[in-house]
Amino acid sequence: MNTFWEERFRDEGRIWGDSPSRTATYAIELFKKAGVREVLVPGSGYGRNAEAFARAGFSVTGIEISTTAVNFARQNAQGIRYHHGSVSDMPFDDSVYDAICCFNVLHLFRKKERMEFLQKCRDQLKDGGVMFFAVFPEKEPGYGRGRMVEEHTFGSKPGREVHYYTTEDLVSGFQALEVLETGLMEDPEEHGAEGRHTHLLRYMYARK
Ligand SMILES: C[S@@+](CC[C@H](N)C(=O)[O-])C[C@H]1O[C@@H](n2cnc3c(N)ncnc32)[C@H](O)[C@@H]1O
């Protein structure tokens, strides 16, 4: 099993601090306008975004593969339900959700797994439900670093590959849904010893 994330959470704790990502804060506003009540957060890490959704009044379920991260998350659960396991084994419950928010997880997989993951998300979404995904764009400085393992996909750290999305690529992954909005957003992040830096992220907001 890939231990990249497990080792990071074990070594660095709540790596990106307690505040939610800017894209998740934006998703909260979109979800409020859409009348969302129940949110699924795949790849929820130690819960910083899931916690922000819960504080905003949503009923929240997270899915996370790292034992250390899910233990951190459960220490501060605030009513959030966490499933411990891989998104490739979804569904973990019989629920269908009003919304899915997924931050910096989809780009960690190769093409076949990305397609399967998105299908599993669509299956757990109500008709009329919405999905908000944030991913690395091809404009991120890391693009091209390391070994190319698939088109626009590079392995620059042992155990972590990243697929860098163009607009067309991201839209094509969501073609079974109605694209409501897509774009780029700067997302500043605390990074422990590395200090604060700003990611450029591509996001997708789409409706089933
Ligand atoms: C870049 S981190 C983002 C974490 C969280 N979304 C956040 O912003 O705080 C990627 C997360 O995806 C999780 N992850 C990676 N592969 C996964 C998988 N197959 N199933 C579930 N979670 C996974 C990692 O353990 C890690 O928590």
Q: Is the CB of 83 under 6 A from ligand 1?
A: no
Diameter of the chain measured on Cα atoms:
44
**Domain extent at residue 11:** 4-207
Tokens 């697929």 locate to: 163
Question: Two tokens at 82?
Answer: 């966490």
Q: What is the pTM of this model?
A: 0.97
What number does the ligand 1 atom closest to the CA of 24 have? 8
Give the CATH number, domain containing residue 152. Answer: 3.40.50.150
* Whole-number pLDDT of residue 1: 61
Mutation pick for ligand 1 pocket among 21, 51, 65 (CB with most ligand atoms within 8 Å): 65
Instruction: Establish whether residue 66 lines the binding site of ligand 1, counting it when its CB lies within 6 angstroms of any ligand atom.
Output: yes
Measured from the CB, is residue 105 less than 6 Å from ligand 1? Answer: yes
pLDDT averages per 10-residue partition of the chain, 208 residues: 89 93 97 98 98 98 98 95 98 98 98 98 98 97 95 93 98 97 93 80 98
pLDDT of res. 197: 85
The residue written with tokens 């009044």 in the block is 57
Domain count, the chain: 1
Ligand 1 centroid distance, CA of 111 (Å): 17
Using CA positions, which residue lies closest to atom 10 of ligand 1? 105
Contact assessment for residue 100 and residue 174, using Cβ atoms and an 8 Å cutoff: no
CA angle, corner 118, sides to 151 and 42, nearest 5? 110
Structure confidence at residue 116 (pLDDT): 98
Closest CA to 101 of 152, 18, 163, 45: 45
Residue 190: the pLDDT is 78
42 CA → ligand 1 middle, Å: 7
In this predicted structure, what is the pLDDT of residue 196? Answer: 82
